[in-house]
Amino acid sequence: MSHLKKLKSTLLKLVYTSLLFLVSPLLLSKLLLPTKGKPAIGKRWYEYFGILPSLKGNSPIWIHTVSVGETIAASPLIRAIKDKYPQQDILITTTTTTGAEQASKLSDIAEHRYMPVDFSWCVKRFLKVTKPKCMLIMETELWPNTLTAVSNAEIPIAVINARLSERSCLRYQKFQSVFNLIAKSLDKVLCQHDDDAERFRRLGLLSSKTAVTGSLKFDISISETVQTEGKTLRKQLGANRPVWIAASTHEGEDETIYKAHQQLLKVIPEALLLIVPRHPERFSTVAKLGKESGLNVVSRTDKSEVTTDVQVYLGDTMGEMLTLISASDICFMAGSLIGDKVGGHNMLEPAALGKPILNGPSFFNFKDITQQLVDEKALTICESDNEISKSLIRLFKDPSSCKEMGRNAYRVVERNQGAVAKTVDALESIVSAK
């Protein structure tokens, strides 16, 4: 029986690796090709193949944070680990260049390298150079060949801030053998919420390997720099203008946002929309769409003066989302207007900034957070452009309700903080092991 399981596991790895080989040119082209608004990989492209310069430190804690959002969320934890283990070296890997740019903000306590492609030979090369004492994976970036290679090297693996939506759970159930292959390499899975842990256990992960430590994203701290930059930007936009932001929009959402803004302008003509596309390759398209809709659009990178006749300010830069939200009165969180394609984005950044939040009807990736914000009267679900504009008008016409809604949002964040400390404690057996 064990022989059959081993054979099945080998066949699964072979099929997976073959498929990865076929799609890897596409994946690498997205990572390597220069894109407006995205930092270039430069001469470091070879790191994706496990060819990298030696580290300054020894036996680092290896923390993989994928991209910008995960790196921001993991930053307080990384600093907390360094505070508790000051002599411990830390290595951060990201997949994207934007993630690398964010990781550079932690260069005083950690080194950065790019995550190798999920081919065993790439990962083995990486391990040979870095020699990590353990691997911490942010959320659920679970690559089968990487996990197998790391586990075979007897390096403990923990998933931190883990979340597993019902949709993803059902997908894994259809390919249970694949999940089994992944699960056997994991030593700990530290989940955001009880329902995440329940889904992991439903898939067969041992209860002894799971724990609920809360969401690291609740432990977000807004730096003085962000607050200062937000105030400076707000003066440039117009201190007394009603300003709202549509954050992280996807293709198919911009039209709805622009329609909502046009309806808002009929009632409050001095209102200003900050629109920030999720992907930098869409910056020019979104600007063009706004102009074709008859709106006066200015891009942040243009450095043009935001006069009173400007109706839309396009955030076409990377890594400034907190500053842009800080400069706004109300935040609409996008990724929530296009059915089941995205499932929403994290609303905790505007909540931590004390902003009232509007959201579309699709938020399955953030169900628990959304429900808490709705229950606390900090977030309003809007089904259409008409509902978005009505909510904006209501809040702009009633500043006291707007401020109260923002205070409610901040209270939700404050109430849920503490995940960093719980996660550091839960990792002690792995991090402090010799």
Question: Which SS3 state, helix, strand or coil, does residue 221 take?
Answer: coil
**Rounded to an integer, what distance in angstroms lies between the CA atom of residue 187 and that of residue 211?**
11
Residue 70 appears among annotated catalytic residues:
yes
In the numeric block, the tokens 């109706």 are attached to: 311
Tokens coding 140 = 């659920």
- Count of residues in the chain: 434
**Rounded to an integer, what distance in angstroms lies between the CA atom of residue 264 and that of residue 50?**
52
Tokens coding 30 = 């997205």
AA letter at 285: T
| Neighbour tally for 380: CB within 10 Å | 21
**238: which DSSP letter?**
-
* Of residues 108, 25, 107, 38, the one with CA closest to residue 67: 38
Pairing of strands 272-277, 297-299: unpaired
Query: Would you say 426 and 211 are in contact if contact means Cβ atoms under 8 Å apart?
Result: yes
Q: Which of 47, 70, 111, 139 is catalytic?
A: 70
Query: Would you say 387 and 179 are in contact if contact means Cβ atoms under 8 Å apart?
Result: no
Catalytic residues: 70
